[in-house]
Amino acid sequence: MILLGSDTETKPSLAMREAMAKAIVGDEQKGTDPTVNTLLENVARLLGKEKALFLPSGTMCNFVAIKAHTRPTETIIAEDMSHIIRAESAGIAMSSGVLIEHISTKNGQFTREQLLATINKIKTVPHPYSPKPSLVCLEQTHNLRGGTVWSLEQLKSISETAKENNLKIHVDGARLLNACVATHSKASEFGKHVDSLWIDFTKGLGAPLGAVLAGSAEFIEDCRLLKHSFGGALRQAGIVAAGCQYALDHHIIRLEEDHINAQILATELERMEGIEVLNPKPETNMVFFKATTMDVRELQTRIKEESIEIGLVGEYLRAVTHLDITTSDIEKTLEVIKKLKL
């Protein structure tokens, strides 16, 4: 099978498994797992933050961080198609007791003007009738809008606007490192302008599990307690942290290959009769497309009959490149789609 459904399809390589097998471990819950602690120091430095916290998943990073930044009765602001709204089973509502105000965009990035208009909308009636806006959430890269990137300039502008209005900023950085590779910028440059951010090791980085959240020492201490109360404290987590460390050392630089493969896929699909590509110039590792003459589900099934799995997102198929996808897999995929004679 060629698995283009998601970059979570990556399997730990033999070298990563060897690193995991050799890991020196302690007790993560007590803060005495040396492999976890080293990973946390490295990620905090990478993201330009004081401290970091190891969590089982990116979803839990969002829950813990948003809860630490807010109080029930408040409102947070996020893009309409963001993961926290569309793909976390309303977990934010349950864990934080806040409302979410949506901002609609074409590509996933909103402007200072849109943010200001949203803050004003939240404050339509006087306090205390209106909820207090307290946090802005950004997604880097923006998944459901095509793996699109917040540029440093866009982020700076939102960061200044947030500060002027006493809002904190949290970044869902599931694919932050894809954005860094695509824009040739340092992750700490992005980290500098926000209060909290996290990276996921189970996407293009190719580890079997783990995510790391970073922020100020005080914020991370709050998050540690919340993580414990959500049942996210771990024991000999060094086994998995070693996989994450291996990914940091070996898999960041190669994300560029995934972006090139996505570009090849998009460019060639765009040339084909009967195919519409939503993002013909993919910024990172995702290509959204559909057929103009065939139902998208049927297209997905026909492709799957040839042992190629591609995910369905709304009215489009979403193909995601990752470290288990080679350029020849992309060529094979293109051949299969071409043969459908759409």
Ligand X SMILES: *Cc1c(COP(=O)(O)O)cnc(C)c1O
Q: Please give the residue ranges that form the binding site for ligand X (CB under 6 A).
A: 57-59, 83, 139, 143, 172, 174, 200, 202, 211
For residues 213 and 275, which CB has a smaller minimum distance to ligand X in the complex? 213
219-228 in b/e form (b: 16+ CB < 10 A) is bbebbbebbe
Cα–Cα distance for residue pair 50/31, rounded to 1 Å = 16
To ligand X, the closest distance from the beta carbon of 260 in angstroms equals 21
The DSSP code for 131 is P
With contact defined as beta carbons under 8 Å apart, do 227 and 220 qualify?
A: no
For residues 6 and 161, which CB has a smaller minimum distance to ligand X in the complex? 6
For residues 211 and 241, which CB has a smaller minimum distance to ligand X in the complex? 211
Cα–Cα distance for residue pair 213/173, rounded to 1 Å = 9
To ligand X, the closest distance from the beta carbon of 71 in angstroms equals 23
For residues 7 and 195, which CB has a smaller minimum distance to ligand X in the complex? 7
Cβ atoms < 10 Å from Cβ of 236: 16
Burial of 58 (0-12, 13-18, 19+ CB in 10 A): buried
DSSP-derived pairing of the beta strands 211-215 and 51-55: antiparallel
To ligand X, the closest distance from the beta carbon of 286 in angstroms equals 10
To ligand X, the closest distance from the beta carbon of 200 in angstroms equals 5
For residues 10 and 143, which CB has a smaller minimum distance to ligand X in the complex? 143
Closest to 248 measured CA to CA, from 4, 72, 54:
54
Residue least distant from ligand X (Cβ): 58
With contact defined as beta carbons under 8 Å apart, do 240 and 24 qualify?
A: no
To ligand X, the closest distance from the beta carbon of 59 in angstroms equals 3
Closest to 88 measured CA to CA, from 172, 170, 148:
172
Q: Which CA distances in Å does 34 have to 27, 47, 261? A: 9, 20, 37
For residues 19 and 171, which CB has a smaller minimum distance to ligand X in the complex? 171
Cα–Cα distance for residue pair 282/265, rounded to 1 Å = 9
To ligand X, the closest distance from the beta carbon of 314 in angstroms equals 15
Cβ atoms < 10 Å from Cβ of 266: 22
To ligand X, the closest distance from the beta carbon of 258 in angstroms equals 14
To ligand X, the closest distance from the beta carbon of 74 in angstroms equals 21
For residues 57 and 267, which CB has a smaller minimum distance to ligand X in the complex? 57
For residues 63 and 299, which CB has a smaller minimum distance to ligand X in the complex? 63
The DSSP code for 142 is B
